[in-house]
Structure 1
Amino acid sequence: MSTTPKVALVTGATQGLGLALVEGLAQRMASHDTVYLTGRDLDRVTQTVEAMPSGGARVRGEILDVAAPEAADRLAARLKELHGGVDIVFNNAVMRVGPDDDPREIVEEYAEVNNFGTTRVLRAFAPLLRDDARLIVVASALGTLHFLAPVLHDRFDGLASLDEVDEQVTVWRDAVKDGSARGGPWPGFVNIPSKIGQVAAVRTLARQRHEQDTPRGILLAAVCPGMMNTPTSAMWWDVGNAPTPAEAAVALLDLALEPVRPGHYGELLRDGEVLPWAPRAYGGKKARRP
């Protein structure tokens, strides 16, 4: 019996966790499968693909800058033409922030990559998911309402569409840019609202697609890879004993390649376990936004 070749795609894949995910997928998928290694710089993509170890699935490089408004749609259309659909998508593209960065100066690009890039990937590739596919957004344990002031919970909870998610991210971004966030309830660390926005996007799309995805064995989820030993993390914390990107990638690869576990759909996961979206005392009731 012939088996349809599988297609996987990883964004932000020229280094760190993204590269580890590509390497892991290539090792664990079959030789007739294809893994797309994507990034925004042609030379880096080309060099990274050329340096990939042999064996396993074929690795192909593609340019994808998630910050470019039409880029995800163009690549999705190309993969649909070539393969008819996709089986695994890891949205891993991220802009890092350092301790010395002024949030007001970097937040526009930061949100463009991390948040609007996420919703672009979700919009572009969700329609291409084949049966038993996985669409996974790499986020963080910081992406829950536990880390947000209660007065802001309704901004990200129970949203009706990805457009609404983008609108709320825009409100936060603009408040950081004009300095008003400093005097309000927004966290000073821009990573927190950004990660919450990413998880909110996954939860919002999951509510829309749950009925059609569940019978088809599709998993849509956000995932926390945990602390990793990378140069960026080392600017903030002591990561000497933290896992390498390759070690952190194992749990994510298991999520992408092993059977779906009940209760994982639409959730934020860490090491195969669900991280609660909201504090227990929070009822999740919608409040009217000011």
Structure 2
Amino acid sequence: MVTRCSSKVTGANKGIGLEIVRGLCRQFEGTVYLTARNEKLGQEAVQKLVSDGLNPSFHQLDITDEQSIQALKKHLLDKHGGLDVLVNNAGFAYKVGDTTPFGTQAEDSVGINFFGTLAVSKALLPIIRPHGRVVNVSSQAAQMALKKCSAELQARFRDRSIKEEELVELLHKFIETAKEGKHQENGFADWAYGMSKIGMSVLTFIQAREMEKDAREDILVNCVTGANKGIGLEIVRGLCKQFEGTVYLTGKNEKLGQEAVQKLKSEGLNPSFHQLDITDEQSIQALKKHLQDKHGGLDVLVNNAGFAYKMEDTTPFGTKAENCVGINFFGTLAVSKALLPIIRPHGRVVNVTSQRAKVALKKCSAELQARFGDRSIKEEELVKLLHKFIETAKAGMHQENGFGDSTAAYGMSKIGLIVLTFIQAREMEKDPREDILVNCVCPGWCKTDMTGYDLPTRTAAQGADTAIFLALIQPKESQGQFFYDRKPIAFYE
């Protein structure tokens, strides 16, 4: 289950909205946003709560301004990866006895209370995370106004199968007829505020109905790369049995990927498939868009996709270096850059690597061993080192530059992946999203297409076990470690 981390209350610089923020700051385990149209008044309200020992955050929001709404959405996505609780409180009412023409009252009341809330909802509901909560602050004025409507309109507003388009059409008609002074002739109540709250109440029923069909309904999302066979397939199989959510099997070849999915479905499991070529930025972005659009993000990422030459392969070493590092390191790096920003709080990242990295590291110069073993190394330096390995390998000068012998292409790529894990884990420690754990794993020498089936002693299922274990570990259990058989092992000694 995903613990909530971000809550937002609209129209909260005073009155009921302010008290909602106050209460959430005391009871909600996460960031609470007070929003308001007037930035000065909003900041003053925040300071008042801070003086009470509370810690809300502020963001400007005018619910009638699409640019303002989109700015808030971008902020929530960039800083928190989404939203967990939305309280739509912002609203407006004319005083009793106000002499403003009724048509104007209708346009303003419905425009702000209903259409403003609708605009906010359309922007923010897609980024609500699983287990999220939405509260629309309405009024019993809606019930009183409904009783003043015609029998036909009462039936239409009360119909639980009413669609959003029909509701919008009815409220536009109310505004139009009110401006013409013909709203009562058309069956509408003579009460602008009450009609706006009818809209708000009915909108809630519609949204709730849509959420019942939504893919985010109390589920988590897991993605395993390179999973149509071998260890990746076994990781998907294990997660389908143990993970309470949607598990994506991805593969470069759509036909083989779909066949793998059907094989698992014949066993009573229910994985989903999405095409992914980790060396193709367009393919990576298509997966990212799918995960965001359908699920609002991702909870577990297992980077398993990889490549190795057979021992007897006679391909020139420079080509081996370019392909192994290009796929195993730079491909995984590209996937990580795209998908780590949409990992939700309490997410897990598992990079499948190999102890061949330790063998390759020992063959490097003392200087390179120290640089790769430095836990403060930055991503830019790691990328530069691996580019240099490829360049010198293609020039036949890799050993002169300290990169080990001509058996090390695969091992060097896995050095990169292990060190990348340490870097990602370090970055996640500073990330505002709570409890995202990044670890890497050596599955061991397993019987797969990559390694062959005669000499290896472990099955693919045995190799997958620790990756599954790391995908499901409890909070604070492990961060930035290299695992083998469910136990952390040293990389640089």
**Could you tell me how far apart the structure 2 residues matched to 1:66 and 1:21 are?**
18
- Partner residue of 2:460? 245
Per-residue deviation, residues 244-269 of structure 1 (Å, max 9, x unmatched):
1112212221221231454x201211
Q: Partner of 1:273 in structure 2?
A: 487
Answer yes or no: is 1:173 the counterpart of 2:385.
no
Q: What 5-or-longer segments of structure 1 have no aligned partner?
A: 280-290
Letter in 2 for 1:58: N
Alpha-carbon distance between aligned partners in 2 of 1:78 and 1:168, rounded to the nearest angstrom? 33
What are the residue-to-residue correspondences of 1:52-201 with 2, within 5 Å?
52-54=264-266, 58-101=270-313, 102=315, 103-144=317-358, 145-146=361-362, 148-156=364-372, 157-158=374-375, 161-188=378-405, 189-201=408-420
What is the SS of the residue equivalent to 1:136? strand
Stretch deviating more after TM superposition (129-138 or 53-62): 53-62
Partner of residue 218, structure 1: 436
Q: Deviations over 1:166-193 (max 9, x none)?
A: 2221111111111111444322221221
| Compared CA separation, residues 5 and 256, structure 1 to 2 (3 A) | same
CA shift in 2, pair 1:41/1:231, >3 Å? closer
Please state whether the residue corresponding to 2:327 is helix, strand or coil: helix
**Per-residue displacement from partner, 1:88-111 (whole Å, max 9, x unpaired)?**
111001011112233223322222
Q: 1:38–1:49: structure 2 CA closer, same or farther, 3 Å change rule?
A: same
Q: Which ranges in structure 2 are unaligned for 5 or more consecutive residues?
A: 2-130, 132-216
Partner of 2:471: 256
User: Are 2:324 and 2:410, in contact at CA under 8 Å, matched by a contact in 1?
Assistant: no
Q: Does 2:6 match 1:6?
A: no
- AA aligned to 1:175 is T
* Identity rate, percent: 27
Greater mean deviation of Cα atoms: 177-186 or 37-46: 177-186
Asked whether the 8 Å contact 1:35–1:57 carries over to 2, the reply is no
Displacement of 1:7 in angstroms is 0.6
Partner secondary structure for residue 265 of structure 2 = coil
SS in 2 for 1:52: helix
- Is residue 222–residue 266 contact of structure 1 (8 Å, CA) maintained in 2? yes
- How far the C-alpha of 1:164 sits from its partner, in A, is 3.0
Deviations 1:258-288 (A, max 9, x none): 31454x2012111222222322xxxxxxxxx
Indicate yes or no: 2:417 matched with 1:205. no
Distance 1:19 1:267 in 2: 23
**Displacement after TM superposition at 1:69 (Å):** 3.0
CA distance in structure 1 between the aligned counterparts of 2:442 and 2:475, rounded to whole angstroms: 17
Instruction: Verify: 1:26 aligned to 2:240, yes or no.
Output: yes
Where 2:423 maps in the other structure, the secondary structure is: helix
Question: Is 1:26–1:56's contact at 8 Å kept on the other side of the alignment?
Answer: no
Contact 2:237-2:269 at 8 Å conserved across structures: no
SS at match of 2:226: coil
The aligned amino acid for 2:428 is: R
SS in structure 1 at match of 2:228? coil
Higher helix share: 2
**Equivalent residue letter for 2:402:** P
- TM-score after normalising by structure 2: 0.51
The answer for the alignment partner of 1:46 in structure 2 is: 258
Query: Which one has the largest radius of gyration?
Result: 2
Q: How far off is 1:77 after superposition?
A: 2.5
AA partner of residue 198 (structure 1): L
- Cα displacement (A) at 1:228: 0.8
Cα deviation per residue 1:184-203 (whole Å; 9 max; x = unaligned)? 43222212211111111111
Whether the 8 Å CA contact 1:28–1:56 is kept in 2: the answer is no
> Residue 232 of structure 1 aligns to a residue in which SS?
coil
Deviation at 1:161, TM superposition (A): 3.9
> Distance between the aligned counterparts of 1:55 and 1:29, measured in 2?
16
Q: CA deviation at 1:124?
A: 1.3
